[in-house]
Amino acid sequence: MARQAKPGKPKGSSGRSYRGHAGLTMRPRNMRSRKSSSNRWIERQLNDPYVQETHKRGLRSRAAIKLEQIEDKFPFLRPHMRVVDLGCAPGGWLQIASQKIHLNKNKGAALVGIDLLETDPIGGAEIIVGDITEPEMIEKVHHAIEGRADVVMSDMAAATTGHRATDHLRTMGLLELALDFAIEVLSEDGTFLAKAFRGGAEKSLMDRLNLHFEKVRHIKPPASRAESVETYILATGFKPLPPQESDQE
Ligand SMILES: C[S@@+](CC[C@H](N)C(=O)[O-])C[C@H]1O[C@@H](n2cnc3c(N)ncnc32)[C@H](O)[C@@H]1O
């Protein structure tokens, strides 16, 4: 599928070197027969050090490295925590979280992943196939972790349309759903991590985040491509609101 160019030697029928900017060395074969956008995607994958690291370490997704980088900078996953991962397939975040919370040693640790798609099992984790908005989903999570969660994280993404405004709205819609979910299941002082788009959250969403959390940060981990509008929101110190009078009636 791919070949490695020898340094310093011109390659390809054009005689041009395949070594491009940033030390790129690999190019897909049959370039002319493919559309240029898919060529660019394949070329980027072949030369992406994080894709290579993903394969080398047996991680299920490149996204796993993003979580690890966010966590390295602002550690929030600790042994024996109860963690919920929204949009967990194929399971890269679950792999990282299960190590950080010492899931295999148990001692109170719990990990639940939810996705529309099937996810291969992760030892000790409960995986639920379904939409996070299904009415019984919150109850299922409470049941699985036997109480409230220390961390709710969401890497949920909708299939992109290529239409910027639509994609932005969809991602921010999922962020809002993830926040609703987190408010229902987090325990006091809990942490919420979620994928967002650059430009961050809308003011109303930021207001809700600030109301419910002590600290809200926007983070762009190095593995999140610079040209991508993707960013992450890390909100710590969950403050459950006292029930409203109307809720008590
Ligand atoms: C970028 S992937 C997650 C990758 C994952 N963090 C990993 O490391 O393997 C986004 C996932 O969100 C899921 N998703 C999108 N909307 C969802 C919803 N309403 N309920 C559950 N999962 C959803 C998609 O099915 C998709 O698998």
pLDDT at 238 over 50: yes
131 lines ligand 1 (CB under 6 A): yes
Task: Find the 29 Cα to ligand 1 centroid distance in Å.
Answer: 31
Q: From the CB of residue 150, how many other CB atoms can be counted at a distance below 10 Å?
A: 24
- Note if the pTM is more than 0.85: no
**Could you give the residue range(s) of every CATH 3.40.50.150 domain in the chain?**
63-245
113 lines ligand 1 (CB under 6 A): no
Choose the residue to mutate in 115, 137, 167, 176 for probing ligand 1, maximizing ligand atoms within 8 Å of C-beta. 115
Which of the listed CATH numbers 3.40.50.150, 3.40.140.10, 3.30.70.590, 3.30.70.2970 matches domain 63-245? 3.40.50.150
User: For residue 21, with 0-12 CB atoms within 10 Å meaning exposed, 13-18 middle and 19 or more buried, which class applies?
Assistant: exposed
Residue 77: which of 211, 210, 192 has the closest Cα? Answer: 192
Confidence band, pLDDT 50/70/90 cuts, at residue 29: low
pLDDT at 17 over 50: no
Strands (E), the chain: 2-4, 26-28, 82-86, 110-115, 126-129, 149-154, 186-197, 213-219, 230-238
On the question of a cis peptide bond just before residue 121, with omega within 30 degrees of 0, the verdict is no
90 lines ligand 1 (CB under 6 A): yes
> Among the listed ranges 20-34, 140-154, 164-178, which one has the minimum average pLDDT value?
20-34
